[in-house]
Every structure is written in C-alpha cells, then in structure tokens.
Amino acid sequence: MSDVPVSISTREGVRTLTVQRPEKLNALDRQTLEALDAAFAAAADADDVRVVVLTGAGPKAFVAGADIAQMNALTPVQGRDFSLLGQRLMRRIERLPKPVIASVNGFALGGGLELAMACHLRIAADTAKLGQPEINLGLIPGFGGTQRLLRLAGRAATLELCLLGTPIDAARAQQLGIVNRVVAATDLEAETLKLARQLAGAAPLALRGILDAVSVGGECALEEGLEYESAQFGLLFATEDMREGTAAFLERRAPEFRNR
C-alpha cells in the first residue's frame, strides 16, 4: 500500500489528484481525507492551476467508500468527527474557485459517490457503478450524500439509492442527473483531459464567477441569487480578461485570457 494516499501532477494548467490506495479500492480513511483536503487547498492557491481533475488509482475503483475497517472501531463522538472531517473536504471541493472534474473510473460508492458529487462536473466510464450502500452497514451517508444527492437527483431517486443501497450503472446515473457524461472506459482519460483543457482555456475569473453564483444561488432565495449574479456580472467589467474576450469576439480571433 502506498505511503502517499494522494498523488499530484500538473500539466498545462490541469492538476490531477489521484487517490492512491488501489489495494483498498481507494477507500477513504482519515489520512486520505486529510491529504485530499490539503491537496485541494494547495490547488486553490496555485497560480499555475486552472482546473482540477480527481480520480482513483487502479482499474477497479474511483473511491469505493469510506474505510470500513477504520470506522468499525469508532465511538459515537469519533463517528461524528469523522463525518465532519469528510463534510469539510466536500465543502472545500464544492466551493473551490476553480472547476473540479470527477473522472469516475470505477466504483463510486458511499463516500466515493459523495466525493464525486462535491465536484463541479462528473464524467464516468460506462463500466462505473455508483451508489449509497451505507444502509447495508447500519449507517446513513455521512459526508453529505443525503443532501447533495437530493439536490442533484431529487427526492425519489435519493430515497431509492439510500434506502435500498443498491448501486446503479453510469447510464442510469446520467439519467438521474448525477453524472454529466458517460464515455467508454477506454476513452475516459482522454475525454476527461479534453474537457479539462477546454476549461483551462476559458476565462478564469469568469469561471470563478459562475462557480460562486451557482453555489450561492443554490443556497438562497431566487431574488438573492439574482442580485448576487448581477454583482458578479458587474465586477467582471473591471477585468482585463473581459475586455480581451469582447475585443477578440469583435476582431474574430481567439482570446488570450490572463487571469486579471
């Protein structure tokens, strides 16, 4: 088993974070949660990072859940703390000012699906399986699964996945709105990189504005969300990137965004 639970690589503005516990199907223990939290915090601050891709090592799993062996020994207080640790990571990902893509290469179960749902976009291999099977352990989702699944797929689908605990395939997950795209497993890496590069070439400040507006709008009344959107829209008129983007359109050329 690797001593480093998360590997990090950066190329052409795309930072790839890979959960590196294939022997455990990339299960999330405390060390891995803390390593992911630190990695996402670093990505948020790195000037050379425009997009983050999250995936799992090995051919079988994105993240197959939380580490059950570790959870089995927890007290009620420790269990709550473990839940809060996971929720803190999911919240950091959700509020990251740069797009995060989950490249779901295999099992995304329990904490793994919760991790994927915290990302801004999800692209899955057609062989992937997704679900919230905590009911089979006498538990409920603890890293935000009941709440994010509800917002993505609605009440009926959330109750079905959480009450029955039966995984679904990627095609069904796409029908429910849990996954954005499904591609052949052999094409997943290339398609993920293509999507990441497209985002990396977009205006960074506008990307951040969209992420902020959608995040805030999802947590407030419509009028408040509209007001926040207008404020973000107006602020972008003070940026060089907005002037460059509009000038490039008028001059019929590709824009060169500089994140300022």
pLDDT tens, 70-123? 999 999 999 999 999 999 999 999 999 999 999 999 999 999 999 999 999 999
Question: Do 210 and 143 have their domain in common?
Answer: no
pLDDT above 90: percentage of residues in the chain: 94
pLDDT of 2 reads 54
Q: Is residue 153 part of a domain?
A: yes
pLDDT of 42 reads 98
Range of the domain at 45: 6-200
pLDDT in tens, 119-138: 999 999 999 999 999 999 99
Flag whether pLDDT at 18 surpasses 70.
yes
Q: Is residue 255 part of a domain?
A: no
Question: Do 94 and 127 have their domain in common?
Answer: yes
Q: Is residue 256 part of a domain?
A: no
Question: Do 114 and 232 have their domain in common?
Answer: no
- Three-state DSSP class for 69? helix
* pLDDT bracket for residue 7 (50, 70, 90): very high
Q: Which of 12, 94, 134, 227 is catalytic?
A: 134
pLDDT of 228 reads 94
Contact assessment for residue 228 and residue 213, using Cβ atoms and an 8 Å cutoff = yes
Question: Do 29 and 82 have their domain in common?
Answer: yes
Q: Is residue 190 part of a domain?
A: yes
Question: Do 15 and 114 have their domain in common?
Answer: yes
Question: Do 164 and 214 have their domain in common?
Answer: no
pLDDT in tens, 192-235: 999 999 999 999 999 999 999 999 998 899 999 999 999 999 99
Question: Do 115 and 65 have their domain in common?
Answer: yes
pLDDT in tens, 36-54: 999 999 999 999 999 999 9
What's the CATH code of the domain at 102?
Answer: 3.90.226.10
Whether 223 is a known active-site residue: answer no
Flag whether pLDDT at 4 surpasses 90.
no
Looking at every residue in the chain, the average pLDDT score rounds to 95
- DSSP assignment of 123-137 equals EEETT-EEE-GGGGG
Q: Average pLDDT of 48-63?
A: 96
Q: Which of 12, 34, 114, 223 is catalytic?
A: 114
Flag whether pLDDT at 1 surpasses 80.
no
Whether 160 is a known active-site residue: answer no
Question: Do 64 and 85 have their domain in common?
Answer: yes
Question: Do 243 and 126 have their domain in common?
Answer: no
Q: Is residue 137 part of a domain?
A: yes
Question: Do 239 and 225 have their domain in common?
Answer: yes
Whether pTM exceeds 0.75: yes
Q: How many CA atoms lie within 13 A of 92 on its CB side?
A: 20
What's the CATH code of the domain at 216?
Answer: 1.10.12
Question: Do 216 and 181 have their domain in common?
Answer: no
Q: Is residue 105 part of a domain?
A: yes
Contact assessment for residue 217 and residue 228, using Cβ atoms and an 8 Å cutoff = yes
Flag whether pLDDT at 237 surpasses 70.
yes
Q: Is residue 83 part of a domain?
A: yes
Question: Do 184 and 241 have their domain in common?
Answer: no
pLDDT above 70: percentage of residues in the chain: 99
Give the number of domains in the chain: 2
The last residue of a domain, from among 185, 200, 215: 200
| Distance in angstroms between the alpha carbons of the first and the last residue of the chain | 43
Flag whether pLDDT at 61 surpasses 70.
yes
> How far, in Å, are 184, 208, 248 from residue 104 at the CA level?
11, 23, 36
Q: Is residue 179 part of a domain?
A: yes
The last residue of a domain, from among 161, 176, 200: 200
- CA triple 38-214-146, angle to 5 deg: 70
